[in-house]
Amino acid sequence: MYAERIESLRAMMRSRGWDAVVLTGSDPHASEYPAPRWKQVEWLTGFTGEAGDVVVTLDHAGLWTDTRYFIAAVRQLAGTGVELHKMRVPEQVPIPQWLAGRFEDDDPVIAVDSLCLDCSTAAALDEAFGDAPHAIVGVPDLLDSLWKDRPAVPQTPVSVLDDGAAGISREAKILWIRQFLENKGCDGILLSALDEIAWMLNVRASDIDYNPYVISYLLVTQDRVCWFVLKEPMDDPTTDGTFDLLSSEGIELLPYSDTAVFLSQEFEGRLFLDPASMNLNLREAINDAGLEVLEERSPVVLRKAIKTPAEIDGMTRAHVEDGLAMEQFLYWLETSLGRGCRITERDAALKLGSLRASIDGYRGDSFETISAYGPGAALPHYVTPSSDAPVLERHGLYLCDSGGHYLFGTTDITRTVPLGPCTPLEREDYTLVLKGHIDLAKAVFPRGTAGCQLDVLARGPLWLSKRNFGHGTGHGVGFWLGVHEGPQDIRQNFNPQPLLPGMITSDEPGIYREGQHGVRHENLLLCTEAGVNDFGDWLCFRTLTLCHFDTSALEIRLLDESERRWLNDYNRWVYDTLAGRLPAEVAAWLRKKTAAV
Amino acid sequence: MYAERIESLRAMMRSRGWDAVVLTGSDPHASEYPAPRWKQVEWLTGFTGEAGDVVVTLDHAGLWTDTRYFIAAVRQLAGTGVELHKMRVPEQVPIPQWLAGRFEDDDPVIAVDSLCLDCSTAAALDEAFGDAPHAIVGVPDLLDSLWKDRPAVPQTPVSVLDDGAAGISREAKILWIRQFLENKGCDGILLSALDEIAWMLNVRASDIDYNPYVISYLLVTQDRVCWFVLKEPMDDPTTDGTFDLLSSEGIELLPYSDTAVFLSQEFEGRLFLDPASMNLNLREAINDAGLEVLEERSPVVLRKAIKTPAEIDGMTRAHVEDGLAMEQFLYWLETSLGRGCRITERDAALKLGSLRASIDGYRGDSFETISAYGPGAALPHYVTPSSDAPVLERHGLYLCDSGGHYLFGTTDITRTVPLGPCTPLEREDYTLVLKGHIDLAKAVFPRGTAGCQLDVLARGPLWLSKRNFGHGTGHGVGFWLGVHEGPQDIRQNFNPQPLLPGMITSDEPGIYREGQHGVRHENLLLCTEAGVNDFGDWLCFRTLTLCHFDTSALEIRLLDESERRWLNDYNRWVYDTLAGRLPAEVAAWLRKKTAAV
For residue range B507-534, list pLDDT tens digits in order: 999 999 999 999 999 999 999 999 999 9
* pLDDT tens sequence across A537-566: 999 999 999 999 999 999 999 999 999 999
- Strand pairing category for A135-138 and A109-112: parallel
Is residue B234 over pLDDT 80? no
On whether any CB of chain A is under 8 Å from the CB of B569, the answer is: no
* pLDDT category of residue B382 using cuts at 50, 70 and 90: confident
**Angle, helix A561-578 to helix A424-441, in steps of 10 degrees:** 80
* pLDDT tens sequence across A219-251: 999 999 999 999 776 678 899 999 999 999 999
For residue B410, give the nearest of B505, B336, B498 by alpha carbon. Answer: B505
Is residue B34 over pLDDT 70? yes
The reply to whether residue B442 touches residue A456, judged by beta carbons under 8 angstroms, is no
The reply to whether residue A468 touches residue B446, judged by beta carbons under 8 angstroms, is yes
Q: What is the mean pLDDT of residues B206-227?
A: 95
* pLDDT tens sequence across A130-176: 889 999 999 999 999 999 999 999 999 999 998 889 999 999 999 99
Is residue B30 over pLDDT 90? yes
Q: Which residues of A touch B513 (CB under 8 A)?
A: 534
**Going along A52-120, which residue ranges are E strands?**
53-57, 61-66, 83-87, 109-112
**Going along B483-555, which residue ranges are E strands?**
485-490, 504-507, 510-513, 517-520, 523-533, 536-543
CA distance B590 to chain A (A): 31
| CA gap B508, B462 in Å, rounded | 13
| CA gap B369, B385 in Å, rounded | 11
Is residue B590 over pLDDT 80? yes
Cα atoms found within 13 Å of the Cα of residue A178, Cβ hemisphere only: 12
The reply to whether residue B457 touches residue A452, judged by beta carbons under 8 angstroms, is no
Q: What is the mean pLDDT of residues B81-92?
A: 90
- Strand pairing category for A188-191 and A270-273: parallel
Contact between residue B73 and residue B187 where contact means Cβ atoms under 8 Å apart: no
The predicted pLDDT at position B356 comes to 98
The predicted pLDDT at position A71 comes to 82
* pLDDT category of residue B415 using cuts at 50, 70 and 90: very high
H-assigned helices in B274-308: 280-288, 299-305
The predicted pLDDT at position B432 comes to 98
| CA gap A587, A544 in Å, rounded | 20
pLDDT, mean over chain B: 95
Q: Who contacts B429 (Cβ-Cβ below 8 Å, separation ≥6)? A: B467, B511, B513, B517, B519
Contact between residue A151 and residue A308 where contact means Cβ atoms under 8 Å apart: no
Cβ neighbours, 10 Å, residue A75: 10
Is residue A89 over pLDDT 90? no
Report DSSP state, residue A393: -
On whether any CB of chain B is under 8 Å from the CB of A92, the answer is: no
The predicted pLDDT at position A161 comes to 93
* pLDDT category of residue A388 using cuts at 50, 70 and 90: confident
pLDDT, mean over chain A: 95
Go through A302-336 and write b for each residue having 16 or more CB atoms within 10 A of its CB, e for each that does not.
Answer: ebbbebeebbbbbbeebbebbbbbbbbbbbbbbeb
Is residue A62 over pLDDT 70? yes
The predicted pLDDT at position A386 comes to 83
On whether any CB of chain A is under 8 Å from the CB of B428, the answer is: no
Cβ neighbours, 10 Å, residue B466: 19
On whether any CB of chain A is under 8 Å from the CB of B130, the answer is: no
Is residue B233 over pLDDT 80? no
Q: What is the mean pLDDT of residues B291-295?
A: 96
Nearest chain A residue to B449 by CA distance is A492
Amino acid letter, residue A568: N
Nearest chain B residue to A512 by CA distance is B535
Give the dihedral sign, CA A157/A158/A161/A162: negative
Residue B68: strand, helix, or coil: helix
Q: For residue A24, how far is the Cα from the chain centroid?
A: 16
For residue B457, give the nearest of A204, A505, A456 by alpha carbon. Answer: A456
- Strand pairing category for A523-533 and A510-513: unpaired
The predicted pLDDT at position A233 comes to 63
| CA gap A517, A512 in Å, rounded | 6
* pLDDT category of residue B72 using cuts at 50, 70 and 90: confident
Q: What is the mean pLDDT of residues B68-97?
A: 91
On whether any CB of chain B is under 8 Å from the CB of A443, the answer is: yes
| CA gap B378, B374 in Å, rounded | 7
> If residue A272 lies in a helix (H) or strand (E), which one and from where to where?
strand A270-273
Q: What is the mean pLDDT of residues A305-331?
A: 98
> If residue B355 lies in a helix (H) or strand (E), which one and from where to where?
helix B345-357
The predicted pLDDT at position A522 comes to 98
Q: Which residues of A touch B444 (CB under 8 A)?
A: 463-466
Amino acid letter, residue A281: N
Report DSSP state, residue B478: -
The predicted pLDDT at position B379 comes to 85
Nearest chain A residue to B468 by CA distance is A535
Amino acid letter, residue A279: N
For residue B71, give the nearest of B283, B380, B534 by alpha carbon. Answer: B380
Mutate which of A456, A540, A541, A555 to disrupt the B interface (most B C-beta within 10 Å)? A456
On whether any CB of chain B is under 8 Å from the CB of A468, the answer is: yes
Cα atoms found within 13 Å of the Cα of residue A292, Cβ hemisphere only: 7
The predicted pLDDT at position A401 comes to 97
| CA gap A353, B143 in Å, rounded | 77
Nearest chain B residue to A467 by CA distance is B535
pTM exceeding 0.90: yes
* pLDDT category of residue A382 using cuts at 50, 70 and 90: confident
* pLDDT tens sequence across A281-300: 999 999 999 999 999 999 99
* pLDDT tens sequence across A245-266: 999 999 999 999 999 999 999 9
Considering only CB atoms, A460 lies closest to which of B443, B465, B560, namely: B443
Mean pLDDT check: name the lowest of A7-11, A13-17, B30-34, B422-426.
B30-34
Q: Which residues 502-561 of A have a C-beta within 8 angstroms of B?
A: 513, 530-531, 533-536, 538, 560-561
Q: Which residues of A touch B515 (CB under 8 A)?
A: none
CA distance B464 to chain A (A): 5
| CA gap B314, B406 in Å, rounded | 9
More confident residue, B299 or B388: B299
Q: Which residues 473-502 of A have a C-beta within 8 angstroms of B?
A: 492, 494, 496
